[in-house]
Structure 1
Amino acid sequence: MKYLQGYPVAVQQQVRQLIADDRLGHYLAQRYPGRHEVQSDKALYGYVMALKQEHLKNAPAIDKVLYDNRLDLTHRALGLHTAISRVQGGKLKAKKEIRVASLFRDAAPAFLQMIVVHELAHLKEAEHNKAFYKLCDHMLPGYAQIEFDLRMYLTWREMTGSA
Structure 2
Amino acid sequence: MARDPLHYLGGYPEKTLLQVQRLIDEGRLGAHVAARYEGVHDRTTNKALFEYVKDLKRHYMRTAPPVSRATYDDRLMAAEKALGLHTFSSKAHGGKLRASSDIRIAGVFRDAPEPFLRMIVVHELAHLREKDHNKAFYRMCESMEPDYHQLEFDARLFLTAKELERAAN
Which range, TM-score by smaller chain? over 0.9
Give secondary structure in 1 for the equivalent of 2:97.
strand
Cα separation, partners in 2 of 1:38 and 1:152, compared to 1, 3 Å: same
How many Å separate the matches in 2 of 1:93 and 1:75?
A: 26
Which amino acid counterpart does residue 111 of structure 2 have in structure 1? D
Range that drifts further, 68-77 or 39-48: 68-77
Give secondary structure in 1 for the equivalent of 2:38.
coil
Matching residue within 133, 140, 155 for 1:135: 140
Q: CA deviation at 1:16?
A: 0.4
Percentage of identical aligned residues: 49
Q: RMSD value over aligned CA atoms?
A: 1.2
Matching residue within 59, 65, 73 for 1:68: 73
Are 1:19 and 2:24 counterparts? Answer: yes
Which stretches of structure 1, 4 residues or longer, exceed 6 Å deviation after superposition?
Answer: none
Q: CA deviation at 1:70?
A: 2.3
Are 1:41 and 2:46 counterparts? Answer: yes
Q: CA deviation at 1:74?
A: 6.2
Q: Counterparts of 1:72-87 in structure 2 under 5 Å? A: 72-73=77-78, 75-87=80-92
Q: Counterparts of 1:1-163 in structure 2 under 5 Å? A: 1-73=6-78, 75-161=80-166
Aligned residues: 162
Structure 1: runs of 5+ lacking an equivalent? none
TM normalised by structure 1 equals 0.95
Listed one character per residue, the Cα deviations across residues 12-44 of structure 1 (whole Å, up to 9, x for unaligned) are 011001111211111111101000000111111
Give secondary structure in 1 for the equivalent of 2:87.
strand
